[in-house]
Amino acid sequence: MSLARKIGYSVWAAAVIAVLARSHGSSANNFKEAAAEQGCRSLITKQERESCEAVQGEKNRICNRPTECEPRKQEEDIKELKDKIDRLPKMPEADKENFKRGIRDLHKEIKRRNEASKDGKTIAEGCVNARDSVQKWFEDVAIPLTERMKNAALTVRKEKLERLAKATETRRKTKERLDTAPSDDSARREHEQAVKEYSEAVREVEEFNKLYGPDIEYYADRLIRHYQYEKTNHDTPSRQADARLENCKKVMDMSFPDPP
């Protein structure tokens, strides 16, 4: 990586870390805290938590709406309706009016279910799409976001550790020079500056570890596994949503005779 690109990446990583710090205030171990949460609450940034809650909320709003799509019941009643219509001409005249009333009532119920299945189809299609959106959200947003945050945090920590290693070596070398020339003011000033830079580097590493913890990779990967589970966890409900849609289509497509 060129120096310019390396500097640019470092600046980007520092910016991402700043966002991460603001997202949880100054609480320690952001990744660890996030990994202890479930669902949308485990998202690293406030913006993504709100985005996740919006997607999940829309899914709940649509999928919790009831539908009335029972193919077996509709099929049985249509068969009964046809049988009654076929039997009507053979009925005694005295019984025909009551029998016709029963046919009309049955037809009315069948027609009502047919109309309800049209609304059900719209609801079921919306639920299928909403569940697909949730799965896609975890795949396209939650997982890449956590990867970026993890890589940014690891990059910043690596740079701080490298700075600490360099400061440690500089302090050692200036101490050796001062030991060989204890009366050399230049050597003393260089060593004092090296000690100061070393202390600052130690402080930065300690503060970083206090904020984000030394196990960034472990907890970030744990979060990613959680999001992958959240994605696949929707497979069964998605299949159920598909089945509900198919049932609504079946009821909607069933034909039935008009009453005499």
CB 160 within 8 A of CB 204: yes
Looking at residue 182, the DSSP 8-state letter turns out to be T
Domain ranges within the chain, ordered by starting residue:
3-253
Judged against a pLDDT cut of 50, whether residue 251 lies above it is answered with yes
Query: For residue range 135-160, what is the model confidence (pLDDT) as tens digits?
Result: 899 899 999 989 998 998 899 999 99
| Averaged confidence pLDDT in the chain | 87
Output the pLDDT for position 256: 95
CA 62 to chain centre: 17
The token duo for 57 is 């909320």
Q: Which helix (H) or strand (E) holds 153?
A: helix 143-180
Query: For residue range 6-38, what is the model confidence (pLDDT) as tens digits?
Result: 445 455 455 555 555 554 443 334 788 888 888
Count of CA atoms in the C-beta half-sphere (13 A) of 86: 6
CB 138 within 8 A of CB 230: yes
Residue 148 CB neighbours (<10 A): 15
Stretch 186-212: mean pLDDT: 92
Residue 234 vs residues 51, 92, 130, 192, 230: alpha-carbon distances, Å = 18, 58, 11, 61, 7
DSSP string, 111-133: HHHHHHHHHHHHHHHHHHHHHHH
The model's confidence at residue 120, banded by pLDDT at 50, 70 and 90, is: very high
Rg from Cα positions in the chain = 35
Phi, psi for 2 (deg, rounded to 5): -65, 160
CB neighbour list of residue 44: distance below 8 Å, 6 or more residues apart: 20, 23, 24, 30, 31, 34, 145, 146, 149, 223
Output the pLDDT for position 32: 82
Query: For residue range 48-83, what is the model confidence (pLDDT) as tens digits?
Result: 889 999 999 999 999 999 999 999 999 999 999 999
Q: What is the pTM of this model?
A: 0.70
